[in-house]
Structure 1
């Protein structure tokens, strides 16, 4: 999904500092995407004090939304650079088209991973039969060695396994003996964990990873190795766990719980994020926007960096205006 904010903030994201052995709970920020009938999302990454978890750099949690009220998802062709998008649904169906020639449906249990590399454009539209939309849109920052590769798209169905009381489904990386069949360019984990009411699960963690637990249905009680007590995390909150922890215990309360477990080796490169671009400098972001506006919106070079999305009935999405000042690091 695009970042459809009308006035997106340009962010310099330096490598995050460790926060100590306790679980850090990050509250979501409500973000309206577009006009008054457009979808609202709950954004937990990036935010002040925590811009990445591994290479995961963006997390929008949405739904369940009644499509009859919200109008569903209608995102015209828009650009990306320097990242991978990971689309994960709990309910509904979305049609994906991109300038690499891909045409795929996003459904629950299947992962759609798009590698933007040096540049791609894509559209996302909920299908006519979809009555409810509910899911998470994630971005992965590409490291310097990989961020200029050619764009491509992958779709993979996922499998489940039982661990204690939980059902685990892995869509990126490896966990509990399951391996996801998609390509990433840094060590990463993305998994869905479902618990029945009153259920518990202990999961072995990769200790070189930092982890995040995004609660879709909860609340959930989290206990990590080395912590004095468990931490309660409410729906839509994101709990951060620093590297060095080897075990994580999740416990549901009186209602069933569902979380996404995200993890990865800490991302040691500073990045600049604005709108749907990730780069390394203000000037690079300015150039990405200029090329999108000239090549695609201005139709000067539809075969340029971002290409053309075939099969979408409508015009591509213009970029917002850039900030009037150069990016300055946040203290």
Structure 2
């Protein structure tokens, strides 16, 4: 998914001192597209927190009947994670991949040095509901070749919850998908009124995004579309659903990233000058990003927004 803001923020992201306890992050709404834009709820990055492990971007959308139409657009220095609850999205990229993203199936695209892709919900999609996540690549891997991996995890019953582990490992279940930093990504659906205690890697920081239902994280209430943050040092977490309906969450995690990154529009780099270089290459139609074959929409590619007038000062996670 593209960050289609016309004036995207340039963000310099580093890991700072971590707070203790549970930190609740609220989302801001961002329109994805034109006049009939699909609204997404963005919880990362924001002033309160810019990174959770290598997770650097989180958009949560739907359920919505508005179609998704995102023409070819570029990425650098990251991996994109597409995870659907409802609907179907047609994906094409300049690595030659053409597939359909469906509920419960991971689509992990590696941008590395540069990739372009398009995302369009299919005609048979009545309701679109899911998340789009970005993972920053570490310095030694940010020029890796374009790649795409797909994986459908088997549901696993964990007491009062059902888990689908699509990245990393949780409760004895592991994903075979390759990543460049240690990561955890899992969907959990808790039965109404059920509680579950999960063992955590204490070297990881974690984010728990509530999609639907009611939830308490170690006794702290979380509202739908909010993200509960846990700093490193937690060995367990208690999740409890409200009595009314199942609670569906995404559990994300990873060790603090430890590198400074600059994010602007769809690019992840290390400096303002790199971002300028990436934008110029995209606008010039450089081979760096390749071509997306088969996309027939209008416009044929997304133009890059204008660059900001000044470099934004480094933003650090508060202590």
TM-score bin, normalised by smaller chain: over 0.9
Q: Is the 8 A contact 1:16 1:50 kept in 2?
A: no
Paired residue for 1:115? 110
SS in 2 for 1:213: strand
Paired residue for 1:98? 93
User: Equivalent of 1:260, from 246, 250, 261?
Assistant: 250
Any residues of structure 2 matched to 1:54-203 within 5 Å, and which?
Answer: 54-66=53-65, 70=66, 72-203=67-198
1: CA distance between counterparts of 2:228 and 2:164?
A: 19
User: Equivalent of 1:277, from 261, 267, 278?
Assistant: 267
Q: Shift of the alpha carbon at 1:329?
A: 2.5
Q: Is the 8 A contact 1:216 1:235 kept in 2?
A: yes
Q: Does residue 1:40 correspond to 2:30, yes or no?
A: no
Q: Is the 8 A contact 1:220 1:252 kept in 2?
A: yes
Paired residue for 1:6? 6
Listed one character per residue, the Cα deviations across residues 249-282 of structure 1 (whole Å, up to 9, x for unaligned) are 1111122100000000111001000000000000
With normalisation by structure 2, the TM-score equals 0.96
Q: Shift of the alpha carbon at 1:330?
A: 4.2
2: CA distance between counterparts of 1:26 and 1:148?
A: 32
2: CA distance between counterparts of 1:144 and 1:286?
A: 18
Paired residue for 1:232? 221
Q: Shift of the alpha carbon at 1:32?
A: 1.3
Q: Does residue 1:207 correspond to 2:202, yes or no?
A: yes
With normalisation by structure 1, the TM-score equals 0.93
1: CA distance between counterparts of 2:125 and 2:154?
A: 23
Listed one character per residue, the Cα deviations across residues 193-245 of structure 1 (whole Å, up to 9, x for unaligned) are 1011111111111111000100001220111xxxxxx1000100000001111
1: CA distance between counterparts of 2:160 and 2:14?
A: 38
2: CA distance between counterparts of 1:144 and 1:195?
A: 37
1: CA distance between counterparts of 2:152 and 2:158?
A: 20
5+ long unaligned stretches in structure 1: 224-229, 296-300
2: CA distance between counterparts of 1:86 and 1:165?
A: 27
- Aligned Cα root-mean-square deviation (Å): 1.0
2: CA distance between counterparts of 1:104 and 1:330?
A: 37
1: CA distance between counterparts of 2:23 and 2:313?
A: 27
User: Equivalent of 1:311, from 290, 294, 298?
Assistant: 294
The structure whose RCO (Cα within 8 Å, separation 6+) is larger is 2
User: Equivalent of 2:276, from 270, 286, 299?
Assistant: 286
SS in 1 for 2:280: helix
Paired residue for 2:305? 320
SS in 2 for 1:291: helix
Q: Is the 8 A contact 1:202 1:248 kept in 2?
A: yes
SS in 2 for 1:289: helix
Q: Shift of the alpha carbon at 1:187?
A: 0.6
SS in 1 for 2:217: strand
Listed one character per residue, the Cα deviations across residues 92-111 of structure 1 (whole Å, up to 9, x for unaligned) are 00000000000111001110
User: Equivalent of 1:246, from 232, 235, 246?
Assistant: 235
Q: Shift of the alpha carbon at 1:119?
A: 0.3
SS in 1 for 2:276: helix
SS in 2 for 1:292: helix
In the alignment of these two chains, the number of paired residues is 313
Q: Shift of the alpha carbon at 1:176?
A: 1.5
Listed one character per residue, the Cα deviations across residues 70-120 of structure 1 (whole Å, up to 9, x for unaligned) are 2x0110000000000000000000000000000111001110000000000
